[in-house]
Amino acid sequence: MGRLKVIARYADGRVIKGTTYNFSPDSPTFHIMSSNPRSPRPPVEVSVNDLKAMFVVKDLLGDPDHIEEAEFPTDRTAYGQKLEVTFKDGEVLCGTCVDYEPDRPCFFLLPADPRSNNNRILVVRAAIKKVRRL
């Protein structure tokens, strides 16, 4: 997959930002390296089971003023199943999933909002309150 910019959000609220070279959706762990050369830190091993979600992002800073759109644009074809994911902490994300299966431990969600900073989101089933098909 190459180097990915990621934000790992743990189920307990912790957040780690950086890059990863060894993420695989089939692996139970991966490592995140600091993306700040001024404050380097050793790679952090991340267990997928401890996460709420992992966001593969365009930019680690993002746009704090941007509010994610929950509507799918009508001028764009959406591939896969349209889903609304509600997490146990109350956060709601909308997007599409090509291979959604309710019993899988995690799945990728592509955001509905074309201006989102997220390229794709690995959603961890254990952190979900409910999934609704749209």
Q: CATH code at 107?
A: 2.30.30.100
pTM: 0.92
Q: How many domains does the chain contain in total?
A: 2
Find, among 11, 7, 58, 52, the residue nearest to 34 by Cα.
7
Report if residue 71 sits inside a domain.
no
Query: Are residues 87 and 128 in contact, defined by beta-carbon separation less than 8 angstroms?
Result: yes
Which stretches of the chain are assigned E, i.e. beta strand?
4-10, 15-20, 29-32, 44-47, 51-57, 81-87, 92-97, 106-111, 118-124, 128-133
3-state secondary structure of 44: strand
Q: What is the pLDDT of residue 1?
A: 57
Residues 48 and 89 in one domain: no
C-beta of residue 98 within 8 angstroms of C-beta of residue 109: no
Can you read off the two tokens belonging to residue 35?
Answer: 């993306």
- For the domain that residue 10 is a member of, what is the CATH number? 2.30.30
Question: Per-residue pLDDT for the chain (134 aa), expressed as one digit of tens each?
Answer: 578 999 999 999 999 999 999 999 889 999 999 877 677 788 999 999 999 999 999 999 989 899 888 888 887 777 899 999 999 999 999 999 998 999 999 999 999 999 999 999 999 999 999 999 99
Domain that residue 28 falls in:
4-57
Q: Distance (Å, rounded) from C-alpha 78 to C-alpha 76?
A: 6
Domain shared by 87 and 120, yes or no: yes
> What residues are paired with 122 via a beta bridge?
54, 108
3-state SS, residue 49 = helix
* Together in a domain, 89 and 47: no
Establish if 73 belongs to a structural domain: no
Predicted pLDDT at 40: 73
Going by the DSSP 8-state scheme, the letter that residue 20 receives in this structure is E
pLDDT score of 124: 97
